[in-house]
Amino acid sequence: MAETVEYEVVTQAGAGRDAGSGEPVLMSARASEGGLDAAAAAARRLVDALVRLGDSTDYDTDALATRINAIAAEVEDALPDEAARLVEMWQQEGPNRHDLVTGPQNPIAPPLVVHGQPDGSVEASTTLPIAYQGQPRMAHGGISALLLDHTLGMANGWAGRGGMTARLTLNFKRPVPLGEPITIRAKQESVDGRKLYTQGVLSVDGEPCVTAEALFIAGHLPRPTAD
Ligand SMILES: CCCCCCCCCCCC(=O)SCCNC(=O)CCNC(=O)[C@H](O)C(C)(C)COP(=O)(O)OP(=O)(O)OC[C@H]1O[C@@H](n2cnc3c(N)ncnc32)[C@H](O)[C@@H]1OP(=O)(O)O
């Protein structure tokens, strides 16, 4: 029997759209210089170094693995209860610090920095390191899909009504280079009941590399609660 899923009706006013100010508004979480944000940034740096290291080195990678495992064990010893952590993750309004794409506390987030624009669109930017490589020196297409899906989702939030991706259509026009600033622009184009139609483009140096069209269905899975 199919499970019934209740969706939250979310009008993401927390996105804080402020078209009146005429200034872009930061929608992603701003990274702090210390604390967990700094630890996640260090982990990102380590991942990048590992991918660039390769096997043709005299560096003692066995000893390295031992040291990294020791650090992981130390952090695991300090972990809070998982259910409580999930509640904490989702209780905040606005941008999530643990977010897979924009989160300063998530080491696998590039992270993407997103601004809501006065014209109702959002603009996002990042530079991808070699860990995201697909073809030589180019980003994996799945990473472009992730960044576009997420930015389109944030464009819905900026427009005032967010949802879940039901259909995402991508057009890969040219490869996305690693190590160069990329820009993603996205906008909710129309709404038909719960159906949100959103478009975006990932560009490098002003050249469109990947375009996206998506159908989102308004609503979100309920946030975890303590009981
Ligand atoms: C501010 C910062 C914020 C923060 C912003 C953070 C951004 C994050 C963005 C990430 C977004 C994601 O990746 S979300 C994760 C990836 N997506 C998913 O996992 C979704 C999995 N699918 C589902 O859960 C479900 O299928 C839903 C929710 C999409 C739809 O289910 P539902 O709610 O029961 O709705 P349902 O009745 O089936 O459909 C409603 C209407 O939509 C149509 N419809 C549904 N699916 C489709 C489809 N694929 N193609 C065409 N049409 C469809 C139906 O025919 C129907 O039309 P009619 O009969 O009414 O005419």
Q: What is the full per-residue pLDDT of the chain (227 aa) written as tens digits?
A: 334 444 444 444 344 455 557 899 999 999 999 999 999 999 999 999 999 999 988 999 999 999 999 999 999 999 999 999 999 999 987 789 999 999 999 999 999 999 999 999 999 999 999 999 999 999 999 999 999 999 999 999 999 999 999 999 999 999 999 999 999 999 999 999 999 999 999 999 999 999 999 999 999 899 999 87
If you search the block for the tokens 């080195």, which residue do you land on?
A: 57
* Whether the predicted interface score ipTM is above 0.90: yes
Query: CA 47, CA 27: separation in Å to the nearest integer?
Result: 26
CA-closest residue to ligand 1 atom 31: 217
Residue 197 lies in a domain: yes
pLDDT value of residue 17: 58
Q: How many domains does the chain have?
A: 1
Residue 91 lies in a domain: yes
The CATH number assigned to the domain holding 114 equals 3.10.129.10
pLDDT value of residue 93: 79
96 C-alpha to center of ligand 1: Å?
21
Residue 21 lies in a domain: yes
Residue 201 lies in a domain: yes
Residue 131 lies in a domain: yes
218 C-alpha to center of ligand 1: Å?
7
Residue 183 lies in a domain: yes
Are the C-beta atoms of residues 132 and 139 closer than 8 Å to each other?
Answer: yes
26 C-alpha to center of ligand 1: Å?
26
Residue 223 lies in a domain: no
Assess whether the C-beta atom of 151 lies below 6 angstroms from ligand 1.
no
pTM of the entire predicted model: 0.93
192 C-alpha to center of ligand 1: Å?
13
Are the C-beta atoms of residues 4 and 100 closer than 8 Å to each other?
Answer: no
Assess whether the C-beta atom of 194 lies below 6 angstroms from ligand 1.
yes
Are the C-beta atoms of residues 104 and 111 closer than 8 Å to each other?
Answer: yes
Boundaries of domain holding 178:
13-218
Assess whether the C-beta atom of 17 lies below 6 angstroms from ligand 1.
no
Residue 1 lies in a domain: no
